């Protein structure tokens, strides 16, 4: 039982490698969702994404979607 308590703080600490992995994964997912948003808008039945009733740019839509998905990647 004491081993589980002593490692608890270690697991919750964010390391530099975690930050680099987050940046790397954000770039990859951002590019994927940017391409997805572009294709979605070019399709005849595609619609523009809106947040709070305002039109959202392709870049903003890709960022929002990437930041929505990324936390699920890091769930252990």
Tell me how far apart the alpha carbons of residues 29 and 75 are, in angstroms, rounded to a whole number. Answer: 16
Burial of 75 (0-12, 13-18, 19+ CB in 10 A): exposed
Question: What pLDDT sits at residue 62?
Answer: 93
On the question of pLDDT at 9 being above 80, the answer is: no
Neighbours of 35 (CB within 10 A): 12
Mapped onto helix, strand or coil, the DSSP state of residue 32 is helix
Q: Say what the pTM is.
A: 0.67
Residue 7, in any domain of the structure: no
Residue 25, in any domain of the structure: yes
Q: Give the list of residues 6+ apart from residue 23 with CB closer than 8 angstroms, or none.
A: none
Structural domain including 25 reads: 15-73
Residue 2, in any domain of the structure: no
Please count the structural domains in the chain: 1
Residue 31, in any domain of the structure: yes
On the question of pLDDT at 8 being above 60, the answer is: no
pLDDT band at 63 (very low <50, low <70, confident <90, very high): very high
């Amino acid at each position: 039982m004491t081993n589980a308590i002593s490692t608890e703080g270690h697991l919750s600490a964010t390391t530099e490698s975690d930050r680099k992995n987050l940046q790397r994964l954000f770039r990859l997912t951002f590019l994927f969702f940017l391409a997805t948003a572009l294709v979605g808008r070019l399709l005849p039945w595609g619609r523009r994404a809106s947040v709070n009733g305002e039109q959202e740019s392709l870049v903003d839509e890709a960022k929002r979607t990437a930041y929505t998905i990324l936390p699920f990647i890091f769930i252990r």
